[in-house]
Structure 1
């Protein structure tokens, strides 16, 4: 009997011990959380191969911009609205007259090869950009040749402008290059230097290896900013983004740098892929050549307004972009601080279009379906690039304008030829163009009358009122005053319709659901998909809730 009781007591003790263990496990389990952990590699499929891993030349190649955004830093970075935030410069001041900019550099920053970063690197970079022999974008040299750079000490830089230039801060976001390496290379020969494929920067990642098939970047342990979780980022090179998308389906990569619109629906339905989109700084429009004598009717505001009313932008976004875009009604990007949300919208209205043309004397006198006046047909040639999107867009526009008696004759050619052989020499009647906008909303390069010759005002728009607004905005350092001036410019643009605005595109990219922390927002370039890259992660660890709160991961 006593032995039986002892066995019962032993069983009870074991049961209690097991219960305590389970309760302890549960307590630990439910008082801990999973948070990101350092390590792991992200592999992305991209199109093409690197050419210039140098921020002074990367504007020519989308992949170069992607890689440079992770390797190099500028004096400032830009937030989603294009406003400057500290990067290599901790802070800066602007003189009341807008002529003197003083930047205070971070101390303790090192190049990837261990050499300290100083004002000497900034002065060298700016001197290179200002050189008449600079082999990069002429627009960069045009800005920096009017800037005098100086330094008091290794961590202070002064820029003195010849006249106020409000967009200047945005230009200081360009990546700084190391003087101790590049000073050996003459400026005219920089585009041929081996350093363009052996980059040394100050950014969150540095070059580990590269060959014809891929490039691997590794985290920079000395980075001055937030340390990224991912230990490595690899880009694998494919002939085009269609091939990169197929590579994802084969399991070769964890992400695709750009998802073509024709694959958007398939990508959105894939269980292992998260499709991200961001409003890209730019717009697609139809430029009208206001100075071409073959199409004198483009000088008539009523004709231009009628053309705008007869464009079904909603249908175009749905068919050409698979719905991944926004209707455009302003030449300023909707995510910009300068965008006027109350600007006039030309909603699809065939009746309004027809009435404007009738009142202007354009009638179909011979019953051929095309309006005419004084023997002149309301007919023009519409140039378009040879991409599937542009070719389809040209057809849809022609079909829409046909409904109000306007004949547009599409002609398709490769986009570089369109720009080189037709836009720059102003040898066109109408053309579909894709404008890429910079971080600063300044529309001067495209719409000021001084830019008709040698600039990008290809349509020949000339308005004294618009010129005055754009000139004053460039000279005004106060953001609120600049915004007011740009609001007025947008209202004037909507009234005069010097071009037919169509849509703002969304940029699409895909990332495996194994990768966490990915966010997307407005983008000035595709490389801005890495704006939050420091928070991307694939590894995790479990910690107590209290520790997670201390590290900022738990509310």
Structure 2
């Protein structure tokens, strides 16, 4: 990761300029790779919404391609791996990363974000925020069509903003909570009227945070059960062709994509390879040419990095600052006890966990905000260092002494079924807790069952899960701690049942605070409350890596590997 992990809020300048910047040297990245032009914007703008934001004309950007991209080769089929298999492609309801990886090639967002976390135009060519922060005007791109040939218009955005964002989309439901009116004065203009300023909006207009669906296919339907959820029709560079469960998801080039000449690739096939050794073999033999978000074991990553045919790189994850935690069900009489939760953290040697299980591709967490999100991060929070004696003493104080058989109580631990690394993390946690007298049963489930148990039925005691900070804590952290974010049946929304008046006050103040410095301070205070109350037991921060064929170009020109639309990715023949 690089200093570009700092969000745009770090800037204090008030200028808005168009810049062309060289790509930082990422491990294994082609030295001659260059970024396309991006918009330079201010912290007051992005964090405070104080000034108009005008994104550059998209056609001008498309014509001013970097030298290496002017020589891009068109055509070719890319075989990629997605793991685990997405439970659904209804990304506007379930934002799980495997589905996001696929659907981001099918749909475009209003905006995209570059490696520097600054906005880039997609369906919206420009965005203007009124001086009082209560009006956001989106000027939409012309000559865009849905994959079924219907034109994309302001009606699609208006429908999505009124029906999809407040009712289904987890991030949009929080970000646009103060949205009071949506107007479409013409077919390519949308005006959002807010009851209160919402500074985070300009950091949350991407394809998943603010999804735009085709009105003609969704209006008047049972949205959660719409047949197009799993055969999606989008506006993005690739068209959905088929999903053979357990085998692959196939996409093809959209010949009428709004950007002339793009995408470069003819096809992308996401292969479903559950076995991690199988994924490593597929990458090594060339059966697949791309895998993102730690597709192989760390030992295999080190080995594959020595291959003359492959790239192993942490580039392209600047906005994907992820961390892993344990979710204690606070409704449970055992885990609702704060001293028990404190004991659990003291019992886990997080340095050893990151070193042995995660191969050094992780770092112990100090709270819910990643140290990679430098503007908002603070390490000045209550910590729970590895201390078995302290953990045992806390359990005694909590009223759970060891019984004659040596056990204090039993717990079920359901690890997130995203692969062997997560299973081994569960095993590490189980061993750690058994050492202090907690009889832990480790349970593996498929993703659909795990998701239902945790987020719909609240049928769990302790689970492991992970999430992303994104560019701003309001986008990726708030949902796990804000009492009003709890939404039974919606994945990754405050499953613990945490409700704190103090945490709510800080989070709600940050939602409308337009002074960037004050907003940062509110989030730093919140981190202190979060680490005191332990609604989540934060274990470590990820250092993600991807593996891909060295012939693949422009892979890391993104804020989030898992969300790159691949319009500008191309495959060299040599």
The two structures have a TM-score, normalised by structure 2, of 0.69
- Find out whether 1:499 has 2:536 as its counterpart: yes
Structure 2 Cα separation of the partners of residues 177 and 457 of structure 1: 26
Instruction: String of CA shifts for 1:6-55, please: whole Å, max 9, x gaps.
Output: xxxxxxxxxxxxxxxxxxxxxxxxxxx98833324241233488897676
- The question of 1:299 aligning with 2:364 is answered no
Task: Give the drift of 1:182.
Answer: 2.8
Residues of 2 paired with 1:452 and 1:223: CA distance?
Answer: 38
Partner SS state of residue 247, structure 1: helix
Q: Does 1:287 align with 2:327?
A: yes
Q: How does 1:199-218 map to 2 (within 5 A)?
A: 199-201=233-235, 203=236, 205-207=237-239, 212=244, 215-218=250-253
The residue aligned with 1:381 is 411
1:394 correspondence with 2:440: no
Q: Which residue of 1 aligns with 2:348?
A: 311
Does structure 2 retain, via aligned residues, the 8 Å contact 1:230–1:538?
Answer: no
1:253 aligns with 2:294: no
Larger Rg: 1
Q: Quote how far apart the aligned CAs of 1:150 are.
A: 0.4
Q: Does 1:432 align with 2:469?
A: no
Give the corresponding residue for 2:524: 487
Q: Aligned pair 1:154/2:187, yes or no?
A: yes
1:257-291 CA-to-partner distances (Å, cap 9, x unmatched) read 56133643443343322123347443221233444
Question: Shift of the alpha carbon at 1:472?
Answer: 0.6
- The structure where helix makes up a greater share of residues is 1
* Distance across 1 between alignment mates of 2:423 and 2:220: 44
Name 1:44's counterpart in structure 2.
79
Question: CA separation of 1:238/1:352 partners in 2, compared to 1, >3 Å: closer, same or farther?
Answer: closer
Q: Does residue 173 of the first structure (1) align with residue 206 of the second (2)? A: yes
- Structure 1 gap segments, 5+ residues each: 1-32, 371-376, 541-555
CA separation in 2, counterparts of 1:446 and 1:247? 36
Change (3 A) 1:532 1:427: closer
Contact in 2 for aligned 1:52/1:197 (Cα 8 Å):
no
For the residue of structure 1 that corresponds to 2:286, the secondary structure is: coil
* Contact 1:469/1:489 (8 A) holds in 2: yes
When structure 1 is superposed on structure 2, of 142-151 and 487-496 the one drifting more is: 142-151
**1:505 Cα deviation from its structure 2 partner:** 3.0
Question: Take 2:401 and 2:433, find their aligned partners in 1: how far apart are those partners?
Answer: 14
C-alpha displacement at 1:511, in angstroms? 1.1
Partner of 1:411: 442
Deviation at 1:485, TM superposition (A): 0.8
1:482-513 alpha-carbon deviations (Å, 9 max, x no partner): 22211111123234434321123344432112
Distance of 1:153 and 1:521 partners within structure 2: 31
User: How has the CA–CA distance of structure 1 residues 346 and 533 changed in structure 2, closer, same or farther, with 3 Å as cutoff?
Assistant: farther
Query: 1:350 maps to what in 2?
Result: 387
Is the Cα contact below 8 Å between 1:384 and 1:391 reproduced in 2?
Answer: no
Out of 73, 98, 115, the residue aligned to residue 62 of structure 1 is 98
Match of 1:519 in 2: 556
Aligned counterparts of 1:423 and 1:49: Cα–Cα separation in 2: 19
Aligned partners of 1:462 and 1:332: how far apart in 2?
A: 19
**In the superposition, relative to structure 1, how do residues 382 and 495 fare at CA in structure 2: closer, same or farther (>3 Å)?**
same
Q: Distance in 2 between matches of 1:164 and 1:353?
A: 46
- 3-state SS in 1 of match to 2:542: strand
- Once residues 395 and 148 of structure 2 are traced to their aligned partners in structure 1, the CA distance between those partners, rounded to angstroms, is 70
- What per-residue deviation string (whole Å, max 9, x for no partner) do you get for residues 132-173 of structure 1? 6xxx55665677685421022233211123444444444432
Q: CA RMSD in A?
A: 4.3
TM-score, structure 1 as length reference = 0.72
Decide whether the 8 Å contact of 2:395 with 2:401 is kept in 1: no
Q: 1:347 to 1:112 in 2, by over 3 A?
A: same
- Map of 1:538 onto structure 2: 572
Give the deviation of 1:189 after TM superposition. Answer: 6.1
